[in-house]
Chains A and B, each alone.
Chain A
Amino acid sequence: EIVMTQSPATLSVSPGERATLSCRASESLGNLAWYQQKPGQAPRLLIFAASTRATGTPARFSGSASGTEFTLTISSLQSEDFAVYYCQQYSNWPPTFGQGTKVEIK
């Protein structure tokens, strides 16, 4: 199965600053999604197809891809953006998730 590795595990950012989250796949793939999860809530789809924002995802969230490296960028962190973010590949079965990046207030 494809292994997804996210970095860093924790990212400390001040409100208004830019956050850059990374996700690396163990092999080349073309289909990746990003989710946001807040405590006690189900995950929320943010991005699919590596760079397409899901319905309702604010424009400050953007996704990009380069080979096996994928990036989620939050251009200017808002208070509601502090959460855990997961990447998920859906190119090959089984679908696999990264271990998550926690974005916390600095």
Chain B
Amino acid sequence: EVQLVESGGGLVQPGGSLRLSCATSGFTFSGYEINWVRQAPGKGLEWVSYISTTGSTIYYADSVKGRFSISRDNAKNSVFLQMNSLRAEDTAVYYCARDEYYYQYWGQGTLVTVSS
């Protein structure tokens, strides 16, 4: 069974940092691209970042470029999202989602709250 499990969310002050993790199982991790998608409370879905199978190709939404960094460890079947200089508008549930273009599999999400 394909599983993606996010962790690392929590309450952080504006300007602070958090590192999210997405642990996966049930598929050959090194063969799949991974994305992060977020959803602010009561709002719609926003794509955040993408990483290719080897990590050689990475994309970011303009809203997070220069502040967020995506990486992966194929030996640990995991993807990470380092979030720096967090702002109130980054408050959201962050999902990791498998596949390059459309997302067949999603994690359950981890809530990030940026507030003083």
Residues of A within 8 A of B (CB): 31, 33, 35, 37, 41-45, 48, 54-55, 86, 88, 90, 93-100
Interchain CB contact under 8 A, A42 and B106? yes
**Smallest beta-carbon distance A53→chain B, Å:** 12
Q: Which of A31, A45, A100 touches B103 (beta carbons < 8 Å)? A: A45
B106 with A94: CB separation less than 8 A: no
Q: A37-B45, A100-B45 are in contact. List 7 more A-B contacts (CB 8 A).
A: A43-B95, A45-B104, A88-B45, A94-B62, A97-B46, A99-B44, A100-B44
Q: A94 and B47: CB pair below 8 A?
A: yes
Q: Is the CB of B44 within 8 A of A42?
A: no
* Interface: B61 (CB within 8 A): yes
Tell me whether B45 and A90 are in contact (CB under 8 A). Answer: no
Contact A86 B45 (CB under 8 A): yes
Known contacts A86-B44, A94-B47, A45 near B102 by CB under 8 Å:
yes
Which residues of B sit under 8 angstroms from A96, Cβ to Cβ? 47
The main secondary structure of chain B at its interface with chain A is: loop
Chain A residues within an 8 Å CB radius of B47: 94-97
B50, chain A: closest CB distance, angstroms: 8
Complex Cα distance A37/B108, Å? 12
CB pair A98–B104 under 8 Å, yes or no, is no
CB-CB < 8 A to A43: which residues of B?
45, 95, 103, 106
* Pairs across A and B, CB under 8 Å, 14 listed: A31-B102, A33-B102, A43-B95, A45-B104, A48-B101, A48-B102, A55-B104, A88-B102, A93-B59, A94-B61, A94-B62, A95-B47, A97-B47, A99-B44
Encode B47-88 as 1/0 by CB contact (under 8 A) with A: 100000000000101100000000000000000000000000
> With A and B bound together, what is the CA distance between A97 and B48 in angstroms?
12
Closest Cβ–Cβ distance, residue B98 to chain A (whole Å): 10
- Per-residue CB proximity of B93-116 to A under 8 Å, as 1/0? 001000001111011110000000
Give A45 to B78 CA distance when docked, in angstroms.
22
B107 lies within 8 A of A90 (CB): no
Instruction: Please report the C-alpha to C-alpha distance between residue A46 and residue B62 in the assembled complex, in whole angstroms.
Output: 28
In the assembled complex, which residues on chain A have CB atoms less than 8 Å from the CB atom of B108? 41-42
